[in-house]
Structure 1
């Protein structure tokens, strides 16, 4: 196990993501992954809500840094706010991340873009807090520019379990992989246990960083009967709190990663 530090960052007005990443590179900082934040899919309701949601903070970027890699002072000066989760993860998950991610992106670019249609909202779909497809999600996805809507997304999941319910959530993970994930292009890239720092003090237990070929694939999964059966049986009752943050990974220049078909490296 190794430590991975996840930093959700809000940049000061006038600071671009591309400029921020360039400054990191000039200081020798090489994130395992970097992604722009698109939006909250599920909001935290108890833990960290004051920091993450207070003052209507607009979060711009997510960084995954190996232990020992730090954000230099010059870059910290460009940040309006930061929230950090330090996690114990598989060493192999980090060392093979670039290759695994490149394979996932190439598979996504090979998909027929019209193969997955945006479904109708779930019954009673006024809210997405239970990870059901809401009418608001449908409207937001439909309004996205085509290049964004058709590009891979990565979902950051923060998880806090009710006492004694961690094993129930493990069953959710197993059933998701067996019955749901592969059918909708979902692939768990990094999982980890929250070890220390701000997220630990706030009460979070685990993280999961999950790939989907497009946001429409994620929506189709959320609307599907097979997913909701697993969700209701194993996931909802296990969680004391959770959030899901939708992101899109970037290259070193702040552009969408692997945006050209056939690109093999991030």
Structure 2
């Protein structure tokens, strides 16, 4: 396992994402992930509920061995800041940059077509159960970058305290990796168990168990999954019963070396004529 630190950053007035990324680059900081925060998909209901009261600009994940200098996390740069550390499996960490580059810059044949679930989507009144509702569907249609570019969903997870809950989530994770997620290009590209008391600045104290950063080729692939019967069957049977609390934050990854709002993923997507008509 390799320790990594997650940071959510709300930039101080007068500071911009390009400023911040150029400053990090000048210090030879090489994040695993640098992403622009887009919106909440699921809000926390029991843990770290204060996170929803602040508009966040950036998600930055770095190896804990090369931390972000404290000066970039103080009020001169960061109006608000949150951090948490997690142990990431070495098999994911060691090859992450190459794996992530392939996901963000796929060959045309690597991106699956939409499955057609949006022709007659399954919808709910809220997204809190990781289901599609009218608001999320309308937003997804208007999200220009996400129509053709990748999105990365930051998941924080707290499990019910039982072996059955963990086994249930493992069943969900296996189905996501092998069928319900992978057929839409979903990939849990970074996962890790939260390691508390690392004494990082503004460290979370609320008791999350794990995090996952899930990749989707576009926002349309993500909502295609949420709208489907096959996903919701596993979601309701295995994911929801396992969780004490969770939250999901949608982000789009940036190229830190460019030093601006340049997406790291231009995206390649194929769609059927029916999908074009629907969306």
> How big is the shift at 1:89?
0.7
> How big is the shift at 1:116?
6.5
Bigger mean CA deviation after superposition, 97-106 or 116-125: 116-125
Secondary structure in 2 aligned to 1:196? coil
Partner Cα distance (1:108, 1:214) in 2:
14
Secondary structure in 2 aligned to 1:158? strand
Partner Cα distance (1:87, 1:156) in 2:
13
Would you say how many aligned residue pairs link Structure 1 and Structure 2?
Answer: 256
Cα distance change of structure 1 residues 243 and 53 upon mapping to structure 2, 3 Å threshold: same
Matched residue, 2:4: 4
Contact 1:37 1:60 (C-alpha < 8 Å) held by counterparts? yes
> How big is the shift at 1:25?
1.0
> How big is the shift at 1:104?
1.4
Contact 1:156 1:210 (C-alpha < 8 Å) held by counterparts? yes
Partner Cα distance (1:139, 1:238) in 2:
29
| 1:174-209 C-alpha deviation (Å, 9 max, x unpaired) | 12222212211101101110011433x301001111
Q: Which runs of 5+ in 1 are unaligned?
A: 262-266
Matched residue, 2:271: none
> How big is the shift at 1:225?
0.6
Matched residue, 1:212: 216
Contact 2:157 2:208 (C-alpha < 8 Å) held by counterparts? yes
Partner Cα distance (1:205, 1:121) in 2:
36
Contact 1:120 1:138 (C-alpha < 8 Å) held by counterparts? no
Cα distance change of structure 1 residues 47 and 226 upon mapping to structure 2, 3 Å threshold: same
Where does 1:9-20 land on structure 2 (aligned, <5 Å)? 9-20=9-20
Matched residue, 1:160: 158
Contact 2:7 2:84 (C-alpha < 8 Å) held by counterparts? yes
| 1:203-227 C-alpha deviation (Å, 9 max, x unpaired) | 1001111110001000000111110
Cα distance change of structure 1 residues 167 and 142 upon mapping to structure 2, 3 Å threshold: same
Partner Cα distance (2:125, 2:108) in 1:
32
Partner Cα distance (2:46, 2:111) in 1:
40
Cα distance change of structure 1 residues 89 and 135 upon mapping to structure 2, 3 Å threshold: same
Matched residue, 1:150: 148
Partner Cα distance (2:92, 2:69) in 1:
25
Matched residue, 2:100: 101
User: Is the counterpart of residue 69 in structure 1 residue 61 in structure 2?
Assistant: no
Q: Which runs of 5+ in 2 are unaligned?
A: 198-202, 269-279
Matched residue, 1:264: none
Matched residue, 1:58: 55
Partner Cα distance (1:7, 1:84) in 2:
5
Matched residue, 1:22: 22
> How big is the shift at 1:112?
7.7
Matched residue, 2:226: 222
RMSD: 2.2
Runs of 4+ residues over 4 Å off in structure 1: 108-118, 120-124
Contact 2:114 2:224 (C-alpha < 8 Å) held by counterparts? no
Where does 1:80-99 land on structure 2 (aligned, <5 Å)? 80-99=79-98
